[in-house]
Structure 1
Amino acid sequence: MNSVLIKEVFLLLESFKPDEWISSVYELNLDKLRKNGRRLLLFDLDNTLVPWNHPDLPEPLMQWLELARKHGFEICILSNNSGPRVREFAKRAGVAYIADAGKPQTAAYYEAMNKFSASPEETVMVGDQLLTDIHGGRKAGVYTVLVLPIAKSEWWGTRINRQVEKLILYMLHRKFRFSSPVQKKEFHE
C-alpha cells in the first residue's frame, strides 16, 4: 500500500478517536473537566442521556444535570433528532438545545459555543456515536467523550452506522490500543 495512502487512512481514523470512552454520562469526571478549563457540556440525546425516543426524564439524570450545573457547567443538547422531541425533553431538563443539528457537520457545534460564548477548548461533546457525535466534535475542535449506548433499540439509520463503527473501533484498537471501558463487553453487541 502506498505510504501516502496509509498516512491518509491513519489521519482519517484519528478523526473518529474520542478523547475519552466511558460507560455512561454519570462517569464524567466533572472536577477534572473544570480543572482543564471546560465549562460547556454538549450532549447527544438518544442513547446518550436516555434510550432512543424515550419521553421521560429519569430522576437520576435530573439530579446529575443539577450536579453538573453546580460544578459551573453550561449544558446544551445537540441532537440530530427532530425539534419537537428535543425541545420537550430540553424544557423538562431545564437545558438549552439545538435540534436537527446535522452532526457530524460543525455548524451546530459552533452555534452552541457562540450561544454560551465558549471556545472549542472550553467545550466537551458527549455522545454515543463515532460517526456523528465524536467525528463532528473532533472537526469542531472540542474535547470528545464517547459513551456506551444506553439501549439496543435505535433508529434504523443508526443501526447502519453501528456496523461502520464496529470496523472503526476495531481499527482504533489495532492502531491505538483504544478499547471499551467495559471489560469483555462488545461495543453495541
Structure 2
Amino acid sequence: MKPDLNVKSVSDIDFEKLLKIGKRVFLFDFDNTIGVWKSQVISENILNIFEYLKSNGAQVFIITNGKRRDMHSKTDVRIIWRSLKPLTFKVKKNIGNHLKDKSKVVVIGDQIFTDILFGKLLKAYTIKVEPIDTSKEFISTKFLRMIEKVFNLK
C-alpha cells in the first residue's frame, strides 16, 4: 500500500497545486504529522497553512486517534478525537457530508497502517509525511513503524 505522495513534512506539500486540481477537503492527522505525540500545540506554520486552505474555499479537519486534550493553540478547525483510524465509520458519521466527492478529499498523515490506509478506504488522495518525532510514541505505533520498515512501505 503506497501513498499517492511522500514528502518530508506538511510544509513541503504544494497546497496551491492541490487546490488548483480541485482538492477541497483536507484531513490532517495530529500526532507526529502536525504536532508531536500528545502535544497541545499546533505551530504557527501549520495554523497558517490551515488559514490559507480555508481562505481558498477548502474545508480543514484534524482526524486523530489520540485522546481529547485541551488545545493551547487557537484554531477553529474541527478535531475528531479517537477517530478509530483506519476504520472510517466514526469520521463518516461526523463529517460524511464533506466526503461525498472523493476526488476532492486529501488525507495527510505519518503512518501507513492508520492514516494512509484510512485514506485509501475513503478513496481519497493520500500524502505521507515523515513523523515529527519518533522518540516518544505509543507502543503499537512503534510496532507498526517497524513493520513499515521491514516491508519497505513508504
Same fold? TM cut 0.5: yes
Alignment of 1:1-189 (within 5 A): 16-82=1-67, 84-85=68-69, 88-89=70-71, 92-111=74-93, 113-116=95-98, 118-152=100-134, 153-168=136-151, 170=152, 172=153
1:36 Cα deviation after fit: 1.7
In structure 2, the residue corresponding to 1:124 is in which secondary structure?
A: strand
Is the helix fraction higher in 1 or 2? 1
Query: What's the C-alpha RMSD, in Å, of the aligned pairs?
Result: 2.0
- Please say which of residues 46-55 and 30-39 is displaced more in the overlay: 30-39
Q: Distance in 1 between matches of 2:13 and 2:103?
A: 17
Question: Which segments of structure 1 move beyond 4 Å, counting only runs of 4 or more?
Answer: none
Q: How many pairs align?
A: 153
In structure 1, the gaps of 5 or more residues are 1-15, 173-178, 180-189
Relative to 1, partners in 2 of residues 1:68 and 1:131: Cα closer, same or farther, differing over 3 Å? same
Encode CA deviations 1:111-166: one digit per residue, 9 max, x unaligned.
35524364211100000000000011101100000000001221111111111111
Q: Distance in 1 between matches of 2:95 and 2:102?
A: 7
Identity level (%): 31
Relative to 1, partners in 2 of residues 1:22 and 1:128: Cα closer, same or farther, differing over 3 Å? same
In structure 2, the gaps of 5 or more residues are none
1:32 Cα deviation after fit: 1.5
1:93 Cα deviation after fit: 2.1
In structure 1, the residue corresponding to 2:74 is in which secondary structure?
A: helix
Question: Which amino acid in 2 is paired with 1:28?
Answer: I
In structure 2, the residue corresponding to 1:89 is in which secondary structure?
A: coil
User: What's the TM-score once normalised by structure 2's chain length?
Assistant: 0.89
Relative to 1, partners in 2 of residues 1:112 and 1:144: Cα closer, same or farther, differing over 3 Å? farther
Relative to 1, partners in 2 of residues 1:52 and 1:94: Cα closer, same or farther, differing over 3 Å? same
Q: Distance in 2 between matches of 1:132 and 1:125?
A: 11
Structure with bigger gyration radius: 1
Relative to 1, partners in 2 of residues 1:89 and 1:115: Cα closer, same or farther, differing over 3 Å? farther
Q: Distance in 2 between matches of 1:140 and 1:121?
A: 10
1:57 Cα deviation after fit: 2.4
Relative to 1, partners in 2 of residues 1:103 and 1:29: Cα closer, same or farther, differing over 3 Å? same
